[in-house]
């Protein structure tokens, strides 16, 4: 039994100017508190929330008596998290400045500072008392509400000043029990597609990550060339244009769609998903022998680890077990004879050097992943050539 958490972003309806001004002032006071706490924590090497609260709570209460007392607690939590992260970076020599800057802020709310008002409203404790805000719930929010997920006691709040809305980050929790698998579904992640073996058939799911990466690569180059000449390298207009590019959003959308397809198939068949055991940064090892700058960029942006994380998250949500195996030579060795497969002229179809049968690179990888994971089912597995002998 394990607990799964999911964060859902829900926006409020547009607020009247006077009401929104209350939250703007609340954000300013909260940001001031966090800034003071972060500066103190970094200067004194305090990375513990408990210690920081013990040292600064009374001072905060006396400095900000108009705020509900629990804002001092949540500000200490926020500041301790930021200070711990900065101190860790500084020890590694990765910090760019002597002290961190508190630029963007999210107001942390615990169970004393917020409460649900029905299913479509939230009440927030402010310096003028409890304020009720109507939400604009969406499909994802209702899916979690209606499927047995429980709301966590912590919420984060941000302000959208352009539309005068509040943005709530709601955390849902649910306990999930992992089932005993009856079969295996190997998954081989590549740059431009994902290979999945279901019921002894291998399917290639196109991702087009290569085309997306190259398209945005050339688009960024064109934007940089245009604005670097007219307004310099460090140009605010250029940064604004680059921020509007949606490469990450498109890749995330594809990642979650792939994860849904694979996990749904695993749940229907009560199967475990077999994934390659990748390092924390698999692209770094792949590009060590690549000199072409564009190819290095493609490999770095190929989302090998990102696709795996998406599958892992969805599998955890549905109680699907995951088996990790060594990915070494999975597409280079014949699953039947354990002999090298010979690929010629960059072809993705090769011939076994011992048996002579033909293997597609992704098909061989899926069969080998299944064979290496078969001990988890108590069997030896069975591999047959899907292409056939010559």
Under 8 Å between Cβ of 27 and 106: no
Q: Is the pLDDT of residue 255 over 60?
A: yes
- Enter the DSSP assignment of 337: T
Under 8 Å between Cβ of 227 and 235: yes
Q: Give me the residues paired with residue 358 across strands.
A: 351
231 vs 335 pLDDT, higher one? 335
Separation of alpha carbons 106 and 74, rounded Å = 11
Q: Give me the residues paired with residue 183 across strands.
A: 271
pLDDT at 385: 42
Number of other residues whose CB lies within 10 A of the CB of residue 219: 14
Closest by Cα among 127, 133, 173 to 26: 127
Closest by Cα among 172, 171, 185, 174 to 319: 174
Separation of alpha carbons 85 and 307, rounded Å = 26
Under 8 Å between Cβ of 322 and 275: yes
Closest by Cα among 206, 202, 194, 183 to 335: 202
* Mean confidence (pLDDT) of the chain: 89
> What predicted TM-score, i.e. pTM, was given to this entire model?
0.79
Q: Is the pLDDT of residue 34 over 90?
A: yes
Under 8 Å between Cβ of 308 and 341: no
Q: Is the pLDDT of residue 250 over 70?
A: yes
Q: Give me the residues paired with residue 273 across strands.
A: 185, 322
Task: Tell me how far CA of residue 28 lies from CA of 24, 49, 60, 103, in angstroms.
Answer: 6, 22, 15, 11
Separation of alpha carbons 122 and 321, rounded Å = 36
pLDDT at 148: 86
Q: Is the dihedral of CA 248, 250, 256, 262 positive or negative?
A: negative
pLDDT at 378: 62
Separation of alpha carbons 143 and 149, rounded Å = 9
Task: Give me the sheet containing 121-126, strands edge to edge.
Answer: 114-116, 121-126, 129-134
The CA dihedral of 305, 307, 312, 314, to the nearest 10 degrees, is 160
Q: Is the pLDDT of residue 360 over 50?
A: yes
pLDDT (tens digit, 9 = 90+) per residue, 274-286? 999 987 777 676 6
Q: How confident is the model at residue 383 (pLDDT cuts 50, 70, 90)?
A: very low
Task: Tell me how far CA of residue 23 lies from CA of 15, 19, 272, in angstroms.
Answer: 10, 7, 47
Residue reference for tokens 């607020």: 15
Task: Give the strand pairing for 121-126 and 114-116.
Answer: antiparallel
Number of other residues whose CB lies within 10 A of the CB of residue 242: 15
């Amino acid at each position: 039994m394990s607990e799964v958490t999911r964060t859902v972003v829900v926006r409020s309806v547009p607020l009247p100017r006077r009401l929104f001004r209350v939250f703007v002032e609340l954000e300013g006071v909260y940001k001031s508190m966090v800034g003071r706490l972060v500066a103190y924590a970094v200067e004194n090497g305090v990375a513990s929330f408990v210690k920081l609260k013990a040292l600064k709570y009374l001072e905060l209460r006396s400095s900000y008596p108009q705020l509900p007392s629990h804002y001092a607690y949540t500000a200490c939590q926020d500041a301790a998290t930021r200070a711990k992260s900065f101190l860790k970076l500084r020890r590694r020599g990765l910090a760019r400045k002597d002290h961190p800057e508190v630029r963007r802020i999210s107001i942390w709310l615990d169970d004393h500072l917020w409460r649900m008002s029905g299913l479509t409203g939230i009440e927030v404790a402010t310096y003028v008392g409890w304020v009720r805000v109507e939400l604009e719930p969406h499909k994802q929010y209702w899916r979690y509400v209606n499927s047995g997920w429980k709301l966590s006691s912590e919420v984060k709040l941000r302000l959208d000043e352009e539309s005068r809305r509040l943005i709530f980050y709601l955390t849902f929790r649910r306990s999930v029990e992992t089932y005993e698998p009856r079969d295996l579904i190997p998954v081989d992640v590549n740059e431009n597609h994902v290979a999945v073996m279901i019921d002894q058939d291998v399917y290639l799911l196109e991702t087009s990550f290569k085309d997306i990466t190259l398209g945005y690569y050339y688009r960024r180059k064109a934007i940089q060339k245009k604005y670097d000449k007219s307004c310099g390298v460090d140009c605010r207009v250029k940064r604004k244009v680059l921020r509007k590019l949606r490469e990450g959003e498109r890749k995330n959308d594809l990642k979650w769609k792939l994860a849904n397809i694979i996990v749904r198939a695993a749940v229907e068949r009560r199967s475990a998903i077999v994934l390659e055991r990748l390092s924390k940064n698999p692209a770094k090892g792949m590009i060590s022998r690549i000199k072409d700058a564009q190819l290095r960029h493609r490999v770095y942006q190929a989302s090998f680890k990102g696709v795996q994380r998406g599958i892992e998250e969805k599998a955890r949500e549905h109680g699907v077990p995951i088996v990790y195996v060594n990915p070494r030579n999975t597409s280079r060795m014949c699953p039947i004879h354990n002999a090298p497969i010979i690929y010629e002229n960059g072809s993705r179809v090769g011939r076994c050097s011992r048996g002579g049968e033909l293997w597609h690179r992704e098909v061989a990888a899926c069969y080998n992943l299944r064979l290496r994971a078969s001990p988890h089912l108590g069997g030896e597995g069975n591999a047959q050539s899907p292409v056939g002998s010559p």
